[in-house]
């Protein structure tokens, strides 16, 4: 069951974007059937789930008016995401929203989307769920929001010992090698390849918040040791001298 904050956020998206259409939309004839694209010109009619998901991840060139298409699908999209009924969520599934320029939209629309993404992530990270799904939601929020900062702040604000710490341990265990070597992207800007990846911010955040929470969970001492290596310059992290103190 969605949290009250998430329910409120979905209701706000519905209220703000209800009735919107992309009139005269022709879409990409190779990717979508004409009758599917035509639904974008009809207000408030529910789209088939697979069509909604395809529209949600489309690049701007596939629509005549990409922002209008995203506005049209937002009420149903928010409802399905909040209800965890969005097929098998993948990191790139909200690229359509991320590429829509929604942060430049009128304030009421911009605020409704931002509030939804914040509430969706807060609800997800505080609920016992499959770890891989939670980490996909995190990347989906980053993709749609074009920032990691507020979602990391929400993660850090969760109470110690709760589900968020289990997800943090899984995240660090999965990505610690890439974080240490700094040669592979951990969180990608799927929608804006002109910017530096946010991995430096992520490394600093993991170093600040992960050790105490992982220690409280009784995490693997070697994982804790490797996490602590993030405090060292990259060239010192894998020297024999540094690893002489590693737990066996």
CA distance 177 to 227: 9
CA distance 198 to 187: 7
Single out the residue of 215, 201, 93, 112 nearest to residue 149, CA to CA: 201
List all residues 6 or more positions away from 217 whose beta carbon is below 8 Å from its beta carbon: 161, 165, 166, 169
List all residues 6 or more positions away from 202 whose beta carbon is below 8 Å from its beta carbon: 148, 152, 179, 186, 187
pLDDT at 193: 66
Structure-block tokens of residue 120: 């969706």
pLDDT digits over 50-87, tens only? 999 999 999 888 899 999 999 999 999 999 999 999 87
Contact 211, 227 (CB under 8 A): yes
List all residues 6 or more positions away from 157 whose beta carbon is below 8 Å from its beta carbon: none
pLDDT at 150: 96
pLDDT at 89: 81
pLDDT at 30: 75
Q: What is the mean pLDDT of residues 5-30?
A: 93
Structure-block tokens of residue 110: 């911009």
Three-state SS annotation for 224-238: HHHHHHHHCCHHHCC
134-158 burial, b if ≥16 CB within 10 A, otherwise e? bbbbbbbbbbbbbebebbbebbeeb
List all residues 6 or more positions away from 179 whose beta carbon is below 8 Å from its beta carbon: 172, 186, 199, 202, 203, 206, 230
- Hey, which of 82-91, 93-102, 119-128 has the most confident mean pLDDT? 119-128
pLDDT digits over 124-164, tens only? 999 999 999 999 999 999 999 999 999 999 999 999 999 99
The per-residue pLDDT of the chain, averaged, comes to 93
Percent above pLDDT 70 for the chain: 98
Instruction: Please determine, for residue 103, whether its predicted confidence score (pLDDT) is greater than 80.
Output: yes
CA distance 73 to 45: 10
Instruction: Please determine, for residue 22, whether its predicted confidence score (pLDDT) is greater than 90.
Output: yes
Instruction: Please determine, for residue 188, whether its predicted confidence score (pLDDT) is greater than 80.
Output: no
Q: pTM of the entire structure? A: 0.95
Query: In terms of pLDDT, which residue wins out, 61 or 40?
Result: 40
What are the residue ranges spanned by the domains of the chain?
Answer: 1-128, 147-248
């Amino acid at each position: 069951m969605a949290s009250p904050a998430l329910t409120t956020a979905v209701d706000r998206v519905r209220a703000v974007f209800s009735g919107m259409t992309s009139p005269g939309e022709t879409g990409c004839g190779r990717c979508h059937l004409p009758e599917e694209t035509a639904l974008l010109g009809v207000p408030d009619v529910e789209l088939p789930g697979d069509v909604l998901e395809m529209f949600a991840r489309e690049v701007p060139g596939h629509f005549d008016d990409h922002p209008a298409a995203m506005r049209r699908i937002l009420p149903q999209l928010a409802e399905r995401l909040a209800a965890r009924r969005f097929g098998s969520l993948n990191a790139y599934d909200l690229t359509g929203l991320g590429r829509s320029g929604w942060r430049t939209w009128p304030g009421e629309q911009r605020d409704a989307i931002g509030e939804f993404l914040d509430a969706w992530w807060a609800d997800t990270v505080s609920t016992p769920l499959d770890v891989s799904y939670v980490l996909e939601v995190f990347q989906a929020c980053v993709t749609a929001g074009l920032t990691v900062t507020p979602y990391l702040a929400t993660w850090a604000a969760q109470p110690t010992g709760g589900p968020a710490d289990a997800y943090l341990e899984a995240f660090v265990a999965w990505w610690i090698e890439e974080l240490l070597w700094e040669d592979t992207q951990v969180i990608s800007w799927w929608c804006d390849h002109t910017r530096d990846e946010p991995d430096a911010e992520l490394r600093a955040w993991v170093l600040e918040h992960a050790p105490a929470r992982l220690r409280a969970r009784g995490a693997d001492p070697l994982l804790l040791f490797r996490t602590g290596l993030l405090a060292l310059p990259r060239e010192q992290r894998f020297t024999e001298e540094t690893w002489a103190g590693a737990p066996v």
